[in-house]
Chain A
């Protein structure tokens, strides 16, 4: 897996910034709490100006990784580089990294203005400079009107902006965001996603954004690093991670998918659904097939040349607005989820399905981990 990760990140980096060395390099990082392994062998690059999302379920180790980068935890082994500098042993206050905390951690005894000016004040910047930069930062997040308020007197969304301003005013080289939108309601959350993304473009600072929400990750990120039980499953652009999932876990975690277990012999994969040519070694292989890549062939309709066809009965329907997901039982041990937009299929109706072999993406089986 190490190989895949490195090559993928190399290509992704190339698309973002040409030939510049990465801002942050994580090398073979591991973290144990006693006997409990939380992170193992994490290697990851973050480019200048990149928006990288660390995506994972709760308990996957994503917050621990973020806290190690911020300096609140130390790694058990491995290295952390920022440019030519080893971050490893540096205390958090020496790192040019700032964090937006999950529940913002605004200081309750200080006003909005004092919160934002905190970093500059402890760095002993001149008061005139502090005032100017704080004003600037508050303007950028549209919080000038609430400068004198205490954090408890402003709304969740506003606290979120203040936390952002408090971090950005220090001009960090890297901003860490620990599920900063999780406390907001759905509508505000969508609005903040857009604002956050455009703010990041404007300031040009690298963001590492931690979330468990795959949709949020897809919308905002330049690249997504998918973490599972302390190991990186895949690091890639949202498009790549969706269309070319590296493992069965990735395929299932991001969006809906069908996993087909096929037997490969001499370049041909065979399963209950049918057979198609592949470039893979002989043996059992797993394929991910997205529901939207399966077509329903209307009765008497003609399929595409080279398409794999299979018949089945509609067993379940779920309405999703513009589209509908239907579950089609093809045989005793194969059911396919198909995305349709017509809504023409009736329950228990027998229909014919078709998919193109190129849409069946070969994925690695994810090792069972606890």
Chain B
């Protein structure tokens, strides 16, 4: 109980309940993940208590499964393209929101941030109609355009939060010393926003890898990983899904650790999640 900072008996009493509550919520949040990992090694496949016989069979099946690996490659391509699109438009959008005044700025801000909180189905369907009217064939490209557009919001919120902390005199000093706007952007602005930009890139990449609601409507012939998994889940329960999910979870954990180690070096950086939530909801952009 040493982690409790108690004031008096009354607080201590309540803290026990709060602690219990926290433990229960954590159990609720982690139970499915634990089940997933556990049953990926279960000889009996999915379900059934208690688990039987440890096995790596599902991983063997997984590694021999070509459609899965094709879809992984597709997902990686989409995620990279989405990252490029979101950063290419999201970083300037943050700069524009921070330092330019133009008619329709408020609407622009709303539109950029909207996909962050909008159910994916609306973003996906509206884009489907656009591509349909434009006569574009659905493919990985349309998914990448969809992800890229929806995730501009992430790049913009992250970079905008970074800009709020950036001392304007830095850029003034650069201009003063003879660097033009282009040189100043690459030599001063970007290095100072390194952390938000990398953070946004990581976040966009992972969110795109996992995205399904938008992809669902923009899919062509080639599946992304979540859609491939979705297709199999619809057909019935397949144990190799546990294996692939565990692998993805492993990679996610690595990404998290990488991100936090990066953040440790840039002391004082607030958490990406909090910033996004605050900007999206607080309307401070």
Contacts and interface: CB of A to CB of B under 8 A. Distances in A.
Given A92-B172, A109-B192, A109-B194, 19 more contacts: A71-B175, A72-B176, A91-B180, A93-B175, A98-B176, A101-B169, A105-B167, A105-B170, A105-B172, A107-B191, A108-B192, A109-B191, A118-B174, A118-B177, A122-B174, A122-B177, A122-B180, A122-B187, A123-B178
A70 interface: yes
Given A107-B188, A109-B191, A122 B170 contact: no
Interface string A98-115: 110111011111000000
Nearest to B188: A107
13 contacts: A70-B172, A71-B175, A92-B175, A92-B176, A93-B176, A98-B177, A101-B172, A101-B173, A102-B169, A107-B173, A118-B177, A119-B178, A166-B173
Contacts of B180: 91, 93, 122
A104 to B, nearest CB: 8
A234 interface: no
A170 B177 contact: yes
B41 to A, nearest CB: 46
Interface in B156-189: 167, 169-170, 172-181, 183, 187-188
A290 B199 CA distance: 63
| Category for how many chain B residues contact A | 10 to 19
Interface in A143-173: 166-167, 170
B170 A107 contact: yes
A297 to B, nearest CB: 56
A71 B179 CA distance: 13
A102 B170 CA distance: 11
B99 to A, nearest CB: 12
A106 B181 CA distance: 18
Interface string A5-46: 000000000000000000000000000000000000000000
B interface SS class: helix
Contacts of B194: 109
B175 A105 contact: no
A123 B174 CA distance: 12
B183 A99 contact: no
The 8 tightest CB contacts between A and B, nearest first, are A119-B177, A105-B169, A122-B179, A105-B173, A92-B175, A109-B191, A99-B176, A101-B169
Interface in A182-230: none
A58 to B, nearest CB: 17
A57 B242 CA distance: 70
Nearest to A178: B169
B188 A170 contact: no
B179 A118 contact: yes
A76 to B, nearest CB: 17
Interface string B243-284: 000000000000000000000000000000000000000000
Contacts of B167: 103, 105
A103 B169 contact: yes
B173 A99 contact: yes
Contacts of A97: 176
A122 B172 contact: no
A153 to B, nearest CB: 14
A56 B174 CA distance: 27
Nearest to B187: A122
A91 B177 CA distance: 11
B192 to A, nearest CB: 7
A166 B177 contact: yes
A2 B233 CA distance: 84
